[in-house]
Amino acid sequence: MIVPMLRLFGLIVRLILRLAFRLLYNEMAWTYDLVSWGVSVGQWRSWQRAALPYLRGRSLLEVAHGTGNSLLDLTALGFEPVGFDLSKAMGGIARRKLLARGLDEILPLVRGRVQALPFASQSFPSLLSTFPAEFIMDPAAIAEFQRVLQPGGVFVCVPVALITSPALLDRLAHWLFKITGQSSETWFAPVTERYDAAGFATRVEQVQLPRSVVTVIVAEKKPL
């Protein structure tokens, strides 16, 4: 009796979260930085940065740039990123951050759908997406990633992180991630299989941080 009740509770929470995510990426986008900091107990930016060592080249496209924090990190490290996102609200927040740092004229932000990227074929050596929505499993989106990447280029994605610290707040955050499915590893195999079938060579990396483990998916477009 207890197990079915827990499963039902988890399902209800996931449905509520689906609605919450839609609001968080749109009408409530102004709360995104605070919410992500809270649910990760201050680790969100570190989780995003776990992807950086796997990037190739200087130019790259960040798919679903959100509030623009990764764009700022990338620029500070000497990358030349282009931001891409469907959410008008996220674009507005990111643009204000770039404007405050004098980067608004040198760092392009483009709005659109990942299933129809408005970029020429073989435009980028790297694509980056941290904590993306379900589009990373969409065959149309995967085909677009394959198209705009240069041969030997990589799509680098941070889909989840697992909090490992025994501290009380970290244990609570770990429990919340677990019951909502945000730390689940059961879908890694379908992801890698789908990207491999689209012409990528895909692997899953586990990055150890002091209080967590970050999953990084690296999908390399095969060289010509």
Q: What pLDDT digit, counting tens, does each position of 99-152 carry? A: 999 998 889 999 999 999 999 999 999 999 999 888 899 999 999 999 999 999
Angstrom distances, CA of residue 17 to CA of 35, 79, 115, 122: 13, 33, 24, 36
What is the CA angle 79-201-163, rounded to 5?
65
Q: Is 159 helix (H, G, I), strand (E, B) or coil?
A: coil
Number of folded domains that form the chain = 1
| Residue 26, C-beta contacts closer than 8 angstroms, at least 6 positions apart | 87, 88, 89
Look at the pTM and tell me if it is higher than 0.85.
no
Residue 178's pLDDT band, with cuts at 50, 70 and 90, is low
CATH of the domain at 148: 3.40.50.150
Domain span holding position 131: 2-221
Residue 205's pLDDT band, with cuts at 50, 70 and 90, is very high
Q: What pLDDT digit, counting tens, does each position of 16-42 carry? A: 556 666 666 777 788 888 888 888 888
